[in-house]
């Protein structure tokens, strides 16, 4: 039997050591594995993140860091890339090609600033601003908003401090050759242009079944990913331009411009099969972006 005095001494030593450790410890991402901790969700390894494990091992969360900060702290994760240079990514694809899902993965992997002109324009419509009222007529008709309405907004946003320091992801912009030329004239250049390729028949099916939760903004699909909560299901709404008639108009507009835009970025363009699973698409995008960064 161990004497009580020894047990007390050992306990005091352990308490002393723990008190010297911060409540939240920073764990090297390169050492992380998807393991279960105290029946909590495991800590996934992710480029652009640092995971935190509490001292008692009961909590695990991941914080997205700007690319520069992350790579400065973990140089091995970014071997072959220039930490000081901001990363610029453009992702293009027809309506319902999966851009939203893949943008989430890109932001998680690289810590870049996600810029969606659609979100900005819809916010302007909801606010009833002059530019929002102008955009609403086009959006309700399923047409693209004219270049002059959005080019200035994008250029100003890219010049802000967070995009300059952390890099950026342009979601669905530029959509026309004129927009691409305007970006180039403003001195904006990207590292990788990602195109999600999905057949029109698949796109129409995806769009028509799409619904949005007005409370959270989360998008569901009535066939592929309906909500499990009946209350959520009851409040779902369909966007005014998510009908078959209007999506056909949007696809015609998209196809009329996308080839010219892809040609404008042919040196950095990568085509990804958007009909594959979201996980597979994300892995292909990650490989493509890393390849373009190594070429730069």
Q: Please indicate, yes or no, whether residues 56 and 200 belong to a single structural domain of this protein.
A: no
| Tally of domains within the chain | 2
pLDDT of residue 3: 55
Considering the candidates 68, 136, 206, 210, report the single residue annotated as catalytic: 210
- Please check whether residue 288 lies inside any domain of the structure: yes
Cα–Cα distance, 101 to 95 (Å, whole number): 12
For residue 107, give Cα distances in angstroms to 3, 168, 236, 241. 56, 9, 26, 27
The one-character DSSP state at 32 is -
Cα–Cα distance, 288 to 194 (Å, whole number): 8
Respond yes or no: is residue 206 known to be catalytic: no
Considering the candidates 175, 206, 211, 292, report the single residue annotated as catalytic: 175
Considering the candidates 68, 99, 136, 206, report the single residue annotated as catalytic: 99
Q: Please indicate, yes or no, whether residues 39 and 97 belong to a single structural domain of this protein.
A: no
Considering the candidates 40, 108, 239, 262, report the single residue annotated as catalytic: 239
Give this prediction's pTM. 0.63
Exposure on the CB side of residue 221, measured as CA atoms within 13 A: 12
Contacts of 71 (CB under 8 A, 6+ apart): 77, 78, 81, 83
- Please check whether residue 6 lies inside any domain of the structure: no
pLDDT of residue 180: 92
pLDDT tens, N- to C-terminus, the chain (296 residues): 555 555 445 544 444 443 443 333 333 333 333 333 223 233 333 333 333 333 333 333 333 444 454 455 555 544 444 444 579 999 999 988 999 899 999 999 889 999 988 777 776 777 777 777 877 888 888 887 788 778 767 777 787 788 889 999 999 899 888 889 988 888 888 999 999 999 999 999 999 999 999 999 888 999 988 999 999 999 999 988 889 999 999 899 889 889 999 999 999 999 999 999 999 999 999 999 988 887 76
Q: How many CB atoms neighbour CB 97 within 10 A?
A: 24
Q: Please indicate, yes or no, whether residues 162 and 57 belong to a single structural domain of this protein.
A: no
Considering the candidates 68, 211, 246, 250, report the single residue annotated as catalytic: 250
Q: Please indicate, yes or no, whether residues 59 and 154 belong to a single structural domain of this protein.
A: no
Q: Please indicate, yes or no, whether residues 121 and 177 belong to a single structural domain of this protein.
A: yes
- Please check whether residue 8 lies inside any domain of the structure: no
Respond yes or no: is residue 175 known to be catalytic: yes
Question: Do 43 and 32 form a contact (C-beta atoms < 8 A)?
Answer: yes
Contacts of 138 (CB under 8 A, 6+ apart): 144, 145, 146
Cα–Cα distance, 249 to 180 (Å, whole number): 22
Structure tokens at 161: 């401090």
What does the pLDDT look like over 23-70, one tens digit per residue?
333 333 333 333 332 232 333 333 333 333 333 333 333 334 444 544
Contacts of 99 (CB under 8 A, 6+ apart): 91, 92, 93, 171, 172, 196
Q: Please indicate, yes or no, whether residues 44 and 132 belong to a single structural domain of this protein.
A: no
Question: Do 193 and 262 form a contact (C-beta atoms < 8 A)?
Answer: yes
Respond yes or no: is residue 211 known to be catalytic: no
Q: How many CB atoms neighbour CB 102 within 10 A?
A: 24
Q: Please indicate, yes or no, whether residues 181 and 53 belong to a single structural domain of this protein.
A: no
- Please check whether residue 9 lies inside any domain of the structure: no
Q: Please indicate, yes or no, whether residues 171 and 265 belong to a single structural domain of this protein.
A: yes
- Please check whether residue 148 lies inside any domain of the structure: yes
Structure tokens at 242: 């998510």
Q: Please indicate, yes or no, whether residues 59 and 76 belong to a single structural domain of this protein.
A: no
Determine the structural domain holding residue 60 and report its residue range: 21-64
Angle 156-161-162 from CA coordinates, rounded to 5°: 100
Sheet with 24-27: list strands edge to edge. 24-27, 49-54, 60-64
Respond yes or no: is residue 250 known to be catalytic: yes
pLDDT of residue 280: 95
pLDDT of residue 292: 85
Sheet with 168-171: list strands edge to edge. 113-116, 168-171, 88-93, 192-197, 269-273
pLDDT of residue 76: 54
Respond yes or no: is residue 239 known to be catalytic: yes
């Amino acid at each position: 039997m161990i004497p009580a005095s020894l047990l007390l001494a050992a306990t005091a030593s352990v308490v002393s050591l723990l008190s010297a450790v911060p409540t939240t410890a920073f764990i090297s991402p390169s050492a992380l594995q998807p393991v279960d901790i105290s029946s909590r969700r495991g800590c996934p390894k992710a480029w652009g993140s640092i995971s935190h494990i509490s001292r008692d091992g009961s909590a695990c969360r991941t914080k997205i860091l700007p690319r520069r900060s992350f790579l400065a702290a973990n140089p091995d994760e970014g071997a072959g890339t220039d930490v000081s240079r901001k990363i610029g990514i453009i992702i293009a694809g027809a309506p319902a090609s999966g851009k939203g899902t893949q943008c989430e993965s890109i932001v998680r992997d690289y810590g870049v600033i996600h810029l969606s002109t659609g979100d900005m324009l819809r916010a302007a419509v909801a606010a009833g601003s002059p530019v929002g009222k102008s955009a609403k007529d086009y959006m309700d008709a399923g047409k693209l908003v004219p270049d002059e309405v959005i080019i200035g907004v994008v250029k100003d946003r890219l010049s802000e401090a967070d995009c300059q320091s952390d890099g950026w992801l342009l979601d669905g912009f530029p959509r026309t050759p004129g927009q691409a030329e305007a970006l180039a004239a403003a001195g904006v250049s990207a590292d990788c242009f990602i195109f999600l390729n999905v057949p029109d028949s698949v796109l129409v099916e995806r769009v028509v079944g799409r619904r949005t939760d007005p409370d959270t903004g989360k998008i569901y699909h009535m066939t592929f990913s309906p909500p499990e909560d009946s209350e959520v299901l009851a409040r779902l709404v369909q966007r005014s331009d998510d009908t078959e008639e209007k999506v056909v108009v949007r696809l015609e507009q998209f196809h009329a411009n996308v080839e010219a835009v892809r040609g404008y970025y042919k040196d950095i363009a990568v085509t990804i099969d958007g009909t594959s699973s979201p996980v597979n698409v994300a892995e292909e995008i990650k490989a493509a972006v890393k390849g373009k960064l190594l070429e730069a």
